Structure 1
Amino acid sequence: MSGPWICPDWPAPARVRALSTTRVGGVSVAPYNSLNLGTHVGDDPAAVEMNRARLGSVLPGEPAWLNQVHGTAVVDAAACAGVPDADADAAVSCSSGVVCSVMTADCLPLLLCDRAGTVVAAVHAGWRGLHGGVVEAGVAAMKVAPSEILAWLGPAIGQQAFEVGSEVRAAFMAVDRQAEAAFRPAETPAKWLADLYLLARQRLAVLGVSGIYGGDRCTFSEPDCFFSYRRDGATGRMASLIWLD
């Protein structure tokens, strides 16, 4: 799967295929340049269609595109084949050739599989989804023991760039006191810098998922590679996708 995207570095079974796109390799013009895959951000629909076609050349079928609402709903990707843009923030599949996908531009994409290669899932996790339990919902939908699950954390906004209010920190700590470690004071009074990667790792660890990989990029600070809504406002969307051969 060579191309302008990232292939997860994780010990997934051979039949598990996954990739995360960058902003490189498409036809969209600024501010969506160039591989924008989002139809909802104001880009030329024809350009988005061409970008999706370029991505589709390395996929076994059309991805289950979601209308992400920062919630916790999980859909069966196979059931979404004829229902584009289902309202959900995660998709799961046990079927060969069915592509689960989530789109991001700062939020955290999680790709999940089991060690036996029988089920995969893609999860969209901004802070609202993380707090609400989208990670837990995604893991539960896989219907395998959490100890058998591998997780890859795709490109998201890094802690140094993700400033949030005190209410966000308080909300996470009300659920789990260990979340305190994922926040450090910002230079702005009453603001905190939140670590999405650590918050996700904490949630996964509580569930019993120990095989966690990735989580080492920052969409905000790598403008040549990634779209970032917080950095640019009007911008494109990347996709993180996973499927079974």
Structure 2
Amino acid sequence: MGSDWVVPGWSVPARVRAAVTTRQGPGSSEPPFDRCNLGLRSGDVPEVVLGNRAAVAATLAPPSAPCWLQQVHGCEVAVLGAASVSGEPVADAAVTREPGRSLAILTADCLPVLFCDLAGEVVGAAHAGWRGLAAGVLERTVAAMGVSPARVVAWLGPSIGAPSYEVGEEVREAFLARDADCASCFAPTRPGHWLCDLAGLARRTLQAAGVGRIEGGGFDTFTDARFYSYRRDGARSGRFASLIWLAGV
């Protein structure tokens, strides 16, 4: 696909297809979004964003247009079947067994997580900002897949890295309340503030949920100019997408 895309380097059934867009993918957004902004709620021109989404779909060529979500930093999971989807479901994760039904997660520092099972029969995608992660979005996504967690493979996509992600005490306390041993994912900076390893917290969460294999990680959207970053760019940051679908048998 070239440098305009990130393809997960995971070992999964061949019918599982996935890709992550970058800001230099197909699109026509002007600065500061240049050019493949896919977020309708980012301040960009809506018609341009819709055109960018169409260009991404045309390039990736999934059997159907991606199902975009109205993400709210929560933990709801949309289970998508054969019926057509009207609008954007209000959810922060989606799961499907329907071949050709492509799932899309938008991020700009939050952690996108892609899922499939070892048989290549079900896929999922989740948006894990700190609020959704603390609320259980990853565990709920795994449960919605309807297979043994031991047969689930998860891939951690591009998110803000620990050296770039300073958070307040309330974030640390939210995770310590769930897992007292997660303190290793926080490093103190100034009083009441911590560097947070979001991908590390996700790994701990997935391991506790019994997920059989966890891959990916190692990104930092704040320092990697390929990606949009809300922390780096502010409220006028665009959004990139992590997509996954099942090809036909």
TM-score surpassing 0.5? yes
Q: What is the deviation of 1:40?
A: 1.0
Q: What is the deviation of 1:196?
A: 0.6
Equivalent position of 1:196 in the other structure: 198
Equivalent position of 1:11 in the other structure: 11
SS in 2 for 1:67: coil
What is the alpha-carbon distance in structure 2 between the residues aligned to residue 27 and residue 78 of structure 1?
Answer: 32
Q: What is the deviation of 1:77?
A: 3.0
Q: Is this contact kept in 2: 1:65–1:86, CA < 8 A?
A: yes
Q: Residue 221 of structure 1 is aligned with which of 219, 223, 233? A: 223
Q: What is the deviation of 1:189?
A: 2.0
Q: What is the deviation of 1:165?
A: 0.7
SS in 2 for 1:66: coil
What is the alpha-carbon distance in structure 1 between the residues aligned to residue 167 and residue 204 of structure 2?
Answer: 19
Equivalent position of 1:208 in the other structure: 210
- For residues 11-160 of structure 1, the aligned pairs below 5 Å read 11-25=11-25, 26-57=27-58, 58=60, 59-78=62-81, 81-160=84-163
What is the alpha-carbon distance in structure 2 between the residues aligned to residue 81 and residue 91 of structure 1?
Answer: 14
What is the alpha-carbon distance in structure 1 between the residues aligned to residue 30 and residue 100 of structure 2?
Answer: 31
Q: Residue 176 of structure 1 is aligned with which of 179, 191, 210? A: 179
What is the alpha-carbon distance in structure 2 between the residues aligned to residue 177 and residue 9 of structure 1?
Answer: 32
Query: Normalised by the size of structure 2, how large is the TM-score?
Result: 0.94
User: Which letter maps to 2:41?
Assistant: H
What is the alpha-carbon distance in structure 2 between the residues aligned to residue 81 and residue 230 of structure 1?
Answer: 36
SS in 2 for 1:131: helix
Query: Normalised by the size of structure 1, how large is the TM-score?
Result: 0.96
What is the alpha-carbon distance in structure 1 between the residues aligned to residue 46 and residue 191 of structure 2?
Answer: 42
**RMSD after superposition:** 1.3
- C-alpha distance 120-29 of structure 1, shift in aligned 2 (>3 A): same
79-88 vs 49-58, which moves further: 79-88
Listed one character per residue, the Cα deviations across residues 187-238 of structure 1 (whole Å, up to 9, x for unaligned) are x321001001000000000111131111011100112x01001111111100
Q: Residue 185 of structure 1 is aligned with which of 184, 188, 191? A: 188
Listed one character per residue, the Cα deviations across residues 123-178 of structure 1 (whole Å, up to 9, x for unaligned) are 00000001000000000000100110000000000001111111211111111112
User: Which letter maps to 2:36?
Assistant: L
Q: What is the deviation of 1:82?
A: 3.1
- C-alpha distance 66-208 of structure 1, shift in aligned 2 (>3 A): same
User: Which letter maps to 1:41?
Assistant: S
Matched pairs, number: 243
Q: What is the deviation of 1:2?
A: 4.8
SS in 1 for 2:231: helix
What is the alpha-carbon distance in structure 2 between the residues aligned to residue 30 and residue 170 of structure 1?
Answer: 38
